A and B are shown apart, each in its own frame.
Chain A
Amino acid sequence: MNDILLEARNIGKRFGGVQALKDVSLTIRSGEIYGLIGPNGAGKTTLFNVFTGLYARDSGEVQFAGKALDLGSPHAVAAAGIARTFQNIRLFANMTALENVMVGRHVRTRAGVFSAILRTRAERAEEAGIRHRAEELLHYVGIADHANDLARQLSYGDQRRLEIARALATEPRLLALDEPVAGMNATETTALRSLIEGLRRDGLTVLLIEHDVKLVMGLCDRVAVLDYGEKIAEDVPEAVRANPIVIEAYLGASTA
C-alpha cells in the first residue's frame, strides 16, 4: 500500500517570462487518492500536462513505477500507465461512446493495417476483446445505455464519465483527473465522488486536481498545495487545512 508509484523531482516549466512551475517535487503512493489544489493559475494543470507528456518540461525527472518516465511523448506516457481526463472535456465528438472507449484500448492492442484488411483470426479476436472491454467499462462508469450515442449528444455528466471510461481503457496504474466535478450539480458531484472511491477500491491510484476543496478534503488521502508554481504544502488533508501558509495563500489570494 505504501510503495511509491510516481516520484517527481524538481519539475520546472517556464512560459516566456512566467515561471509556471518551480522545482516541484512530489510523491504519489500506490493506491492512494492524491489531491492537487491551489488558487487559479497556481500551475496545477501545467504540472498535469508535464506529467502526461503534453508539455515539454524545462527541468526535473519523473520516476514512475520504479522506472524513469519518458515524458517526450504523450502516447509513451499512456503506454507506461498514466491516463488522464481534461478540465474542459475532450472527447471524440463524432464517435459513439463505445468507440471513444474502444480508442482507449489502442495502446494495449496490436493489430495493424494488414491484419485489419485481411481480417485475420487474431485481429477478429482482438477486436471482439476491445469491444467487450469497452462495453464493460461503459457499464462500470454507468453509461452502458448510451453506448451507441455520439459522444457530443451525451449530457455533461455522462461526458465526464465517458472520458473516465476512455482513460480506464488504457489500463492505467495512475488515473489523473483534471477537475472532474467542475460544472456539475450536487447530485452529479456525489455520484462522481462514489465513482472515484470505487476506483480506489479497485486498486487504482488517482491524482486529482480540484477546485472543490470540500470534495478534495473528503476524498483524498494526501493533498499537495501549489501556489505561484511552487509546492507550499503536502500532507494529509487535516494537516493541510490547518497549515498557516496554505491559509495565507488562499485568503491572500481572495482578499488581494
Chain B
Amino acid sequence: MDILLQQIINGLTTGSVYAVVALGYTMVYGVIQLINFAHGEVVMIGAMVAFSVITSLAGSHLPPLVIVLAGVMAAIPACMIMGYLLERVAYRPLRHAPRLAPLITAIGMSIILQHLALLAWGRNPLAFPQIIDNRVFGIGGAAISSVQIAIILLSLAMMAGLSWFVYRTRFGIAIRATAENVHIAGLMGVNANRVIAATFVIGAGLGAVAGVMYGSYYGIAHYTMGFSLGLKAFSAAVLGGIGNIAGAMLGGILLGLVEALGTGYVGELTDLCSWPMAHGWLSAQCADGGNFVLFGSNYQDVFAFLMLILVLVFRPSGLLGERVSERA
C-alpha cells in the first residue's frame, strides 16, 4: 500500500471538510471581526439533526440517497435558523462593546449549545446507519471510498458555489463591501444588519453540510465533535488568512494534508531506533525490529494547533491575507 498517496487522499477528504467549515468562520470574521466560537457547535448540531433523521428513516424502503438527502435537507435549515438566532440574540446587542465581550459571549454560546445537544441526544455518539454501500476503489496502490469521493466533490461544489455567490452576485458584492468598510457600505445603501445576518446564515448552512460529511466519514456524530472540528477549521481560516474566502479553502485543504501526513509519518520519524546515533543506548529496545517511538499517531490533534500557533507567530495575516500594520 502506498502510504503517501493514501494519506494525501485522507488529507484531502478531511481538508475539504475543514475548508467548508472554515468558510463560516472567515465570512463572519470578514464582516464583523468576530471569532464566532460557536460555529463548531452549529456544525455539530447539523450532524446530529441529520443523523437523527437518517436513523429514523433507515428502516423505510426509501432509496439510501434520498434518506441521506432528507437528513441534509433537515440539517441545513435547522443550522441556518440557529446561525441567525446566534447573531440576533447573542452578538448583535454587543456590536459596539469592547472587543473581548463578544468573544466571551461566543464561548458561552458554544458551551450552551454543546450541553443542549447533550440534553437532546445524550452522551453516547450517534452512529451512521449502514444504508450506503460504501464502495472502495483502488488507485495507484491506495484506496479511496465512494464517501470520500462524495465529500471531496460536494465540498468543491460548495466552494465554487460560494465563490460565485460572493464574487458575481449583487448580494455578494454587498458582503464584500461590508467586509471592506461597514460605514461606507452603509452609505452606499447596503443594509449592514442584513449582510451580517446573511454571513451567519450562509456559514451555518455550509457548516450543516460539512457536519454531515464529517460525521458520515467517521461513521459517528457526537455532541463534543464541534469543538475540535471548529478549532481546526478556525486554524485553517487563520492559516489561509482570516477574512479571505479563497484563503479559507486553501487553508482547510492544506491543514487536512498536514494533519494526515503528520499523523501518517510522525511515528516513523520519531522512532529513535531509525536514528543511527540512538542505536547505542537503545539497542535493547531496538533489537529484533523493535522500536522506540517518541510520538505516535495519537498526537493527531496536536498538528492543527501547532500549525495555528506557528502561523500566527510567523505570518499572522495568513498565507493569502494582506499584511496590515497592526499598530496605531
Contacts and interface: CB of A to CB of B under 8 A. Distances in A.
Nearest to B328: A54
Contacts, number: 8
Interface in B121-138: none
Interface string B298-327: 000000000000000000000000000101
- At the interface, is chain B mostly helix, strand, loop or mixed? loop
B323 to A, nearest CB: 9
Interface size class of A (residues with CB under 8 A): under 10
A55 interface: yes
A88 B325 CA distance: 19
A173 B177 CA distance: 46
A91 to B, nearest CB: 15
- Category for how many chain B residues contact A: under 10
Interface in A41-64: 49, 54-55
A86 to B, nearest CB: 9
Contacts of B328: 49, 54-55
A145 B64 CA distance: 78
A49 B325 CA distance: 12
A55 B325 CA distance: 8
A255 to B, nearest CB: 26
Contacts of B327: 49, 54-55
A49 B328 CA distance: 8
Interface in A161-178: none
B328 to A, nearest CB: 5
A133 B328 CA distance: 29
A47 to B, nearest CB: 13
Contacts of B325: 15, 55
Closest 8 CB pairs of A and B: A54-B328, A54-B327, A49-B328, A55-B328, A55-B327, A55-B325, A15-B325, A49-B327
Interface of B: 325, 327-328
8 contacts: A15-B325, A49-B327, A49-B328, A54-B327, A54-B328, A55-B325, A55-B327, A55-B328
